[in-house]
Amino acid sequence: MKPLTVDLQDEESLRDLGSASVQVVHDLKNQLNGLKLYATFLRKRLEKGDRPADELETVGKLIAGLERAAGDMNALVRLGRPLDLRRQPRTELSRILSAASEGQKVEAEAGTYEGEFDPAALTEALKGVGEGARAMLEQARQQAGALAVHLRREDTGGTPTAVIEWRGAARREEGGADAFKSFAGPAGMRLALAARVIRAHGGEVAHEADILRARLPLST
């Protein structure tokens, strides 16, 4: 008996299904944003009418849920569409990482980290890695406060490289799932999108032990 193979028609069907799914998710995201506007309007009306605190709290939770769902759908849409990077020469990576870390201290070794990066895309990608790491810790019922961000430069091997490590993430056991490839929930989807953006910059990602690592080429 010959082994089963996926013929061209099946591959085309999968591509068509993926394209259609991305469009449906995009439309749903727009509808959720519309619902968020209605909910925000309702909250303002309730605040003016001196309504009970539990009603305001309920509407606030509704708006937060809509924002999370719209954010997840936006990540899925971006994951399913081609990247359009707008790189800028001599862009300082340490500043991008600092902005993406949202107040969390970045331990950076001395040196310059200039490269040809898309600041907006890379900021969102590095932010996604940090959010993914914290979500992994929460899922593993560990304290997210133990997470630390490190940046160093490697000048061996020809092309200088920036190495970013999120240390203290949920541990990957031997043979366990790579966080950048697991697609486990919204956090996994953001990590997959972040990996795609980093690779498009000529970099690479890895999940080793309790560390999420990104490597990006720097200017010579």
Q: Which residue has the higher pLDDT, 211 or 170?
A: 211
The CA-atom distances, in angstroms, between 105 and each of 100, 125, 149, 187, 205 are 11, 18, 7, 21, 21
Residue 52 has pLDDT above 90, yes or no: no
CA distances from 187 to 18, 39, 46, 75, 183 (A): 20, 26, 33, 10, 8
Report yes or no: 25 and 77 within 8 Å, Cβ to Cβ.
yes
d(CA 43, CA 19): 36
pLDDT exceeds cutoff 60 at 35: yes
Query: How much is the pLDDT for 29?
Result: 78
Compute φ and ψ for 115, nearest 5 degrees: -160, 180
| pTM score | 0.73
Q: What is the pLDDT of residue 12?
A: 66
